[in-house]
C-alpha cells in the first residue's frame, strides 16, 4: 500500500522515532522504498562558502553527518532507501518533494509544541500535513 515513503529527518530524536516507523511499514510492504530527505533550513555560513572544496549550494559534510545515525539505522535494517540533502525551508521543501515525486506516505517527527509555540513558531509537521497530497504520519 505505502511503497513510496518519504521520511523527513533532521537528526533529532523525533526523527529517529519517525525513521523507526518508516522501517516498520517498509518491512511489511513488498517493494517499499524509503527516501530520507534532510532539509538544511539555513543558508551556508561564510566558512562553508569560503571552503575551496565546496561548490555553490553543496551541503557541507559536517551538516550531512547530522542524519548519519538515521542512515546507519536504515542500512542495518536492509530496507531499500536513498538519501537526499537539500537547502530550503523545511515545510515547503518536504511538501514539494512529496507532491512532485508522488509519495504514498510522508512520515515526520513532531517536537510536541504547545499551542502558543505552534502559533508563534509554526509547526513543520502541521504545514506538511495541511499541504501534502498524500497521507502524513506524524510521529510524536
Rounded-to-integer distance, Cα 68 and Cα 8, Å: 13
pTM across the whole model: 0.85
At residue 123, the pLDDT reads 83
Count the Cβ atoms, other than its own, within 10 Å of residue 25.
20
Under the banding of pLDDT at 50, 70 and 90, the label for residue 120 is very low
Task: Specify the CATH number for the domain of residue 77.
Answer: 3.40.50.620
Q: Which pLDDT tens digit goes with each residue over 68-84?
A: 999 999 999 999 999 99
Counting residues of the chain whose pLDDT is more than 70, the rounded percentage is 81
Q: What is the mean pLDDT of residues 15-21?
A: 96
- Which domain does 25 fall in, by range? 4-139
At residue 50, the pLDDT reads 55
Q: What is the mean pLDDT of residues 96-108?
A: 97
Amino acid at each position: 500500500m505505502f511503497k513510496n515513503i518519504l521520511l523527513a529527518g533532521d537528526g533529532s530524536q523525533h526523527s529517529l522515532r519517525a525513521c523507526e516507523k518508516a522501517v516498520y511499514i517498509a518491512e511489511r510492504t513488498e517493494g517499499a522504498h524509503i527516501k530520507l530527505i534532510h532539509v538544511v533550513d539555513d543558508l551556508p555560513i561564510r566558512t562553508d562558502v569560503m571552503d575551496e572544496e565546496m561548490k555553490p549550494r553543496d551541503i557541507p559534510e559536517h551538516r550531512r553527518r547530522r542524519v548519519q545515525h538515521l542512515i546507519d539505522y536504515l542500512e542495518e535494517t536492509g530496507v531499500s532507501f536513498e538519501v537526499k540533502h537539500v537547502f530550503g525551508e523545511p515545510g515547503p521543501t518536504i511538501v514539494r518533494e512529496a507532491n512532485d515525486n508522488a509519495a504514498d506516505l510522508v512520515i515526520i517527527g513532531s517536537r510536541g509544541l504547545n499551542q502558543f509555540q505552534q502559533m508563534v513558531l509554526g509547526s513543520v509537521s502541521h504545514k506538511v500535513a495541511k499541504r501534502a497530497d498524500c497521507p502524513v504520519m506524524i510521529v510524536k
